[in-house]
Amino acid sequence: MNRSPRVRMLASVRSAEEALFALQAGADLIDAKEPFDGVLGAVPPEVLRAIVSAVGGRRPVSATVGDLPLEPKRLLPAIQGNAECGADIVKIGLFEQPFVAGGLRTLAAATAVPLVAVLFADRSPPRHSAIELAAAGWHGVMLDTADKGAGSLRDWTDEVWLAEFVNEARAAGLLVGLAGSLREDDVRPLAALGPDYLGFRGALCAGSD
């Protein structure tokens, strides 16, 4: 995926029907995720295959592996399963801190599918993580929130911190995204920081993840 000056929209969906709605709404990246099964709940394989089929190559599809610890022996089968279902990108939550650099490198080296790390603003994410992720061979990094009922990304971070996060990720050559209960009035100030993607779900549907 080549970067463009325009900030693109990542839309999290939990079904093929939602994927089609997201396409019609102009989403640039379809993100398969089950919000009722954890922070980064994974959709079942048959649902992921249906989402990939519905998108039909018109946009890239990302998928999550669930709320798993950073253990290659547990993550690699989940990553491979997502890839076999047609996911173009696999998102992995980095819940433990500090990260184990060896684990990051092992995961990136063992799979051909691009890996995107997800950090959580409401769980005190470490600074300068982009440098470590890039050195380990990861494709990108997203900053999200774990507790969707406790405020949006901008409630947990200030503009200076967010700008540093985006700039460091870009300088490291990583794809960078921002998400976390974003609302319409978040778009302009966050887009001004220059991320590749802004992620949405709650703002696109009646419910909220």
Residues 6+ apart with CB under 8 A from 141: 116, 117, 118, 119, 129, 130, 133, 169, 174, 175, 176, 177
- 57 in any annotated domain: yes
Overall domain count for the chain: 1
Question: Scanning the structure block, which residue is given the tokens 């990542």?
Answer: 10
73 is an active site residue: no
- 3 in any annotated domain: no
- Annotated catalytic residue, options 33, 59, 139, 201: 33
- CA triplet 177, 34, 73: central angle to 5 degrees? 80
pLDDT tens-digit profile of 119-156?
999 887 877 899 999 999 999 999 999 887 777 898 89
Question: What pTM was estimated for this model as a whole?
Answer: 0.90
Question: Scanning the structure block, which residue is given the tokens 């995926």?
Answer: 1
pLDDT tens-digit profile of 166-199?
999 999 999 999 999 888 889 999 999 999 999 9
The domain in which residue 181 lies consists of: 8-201
- Annotated catalytic residue, options 14, 91, 154, 201: 91
- 34 in any annotated domain: yes
Cα-trace Rg, the chain:
16
What CATH number has the domain bearing residue 86?
3.20.20.380
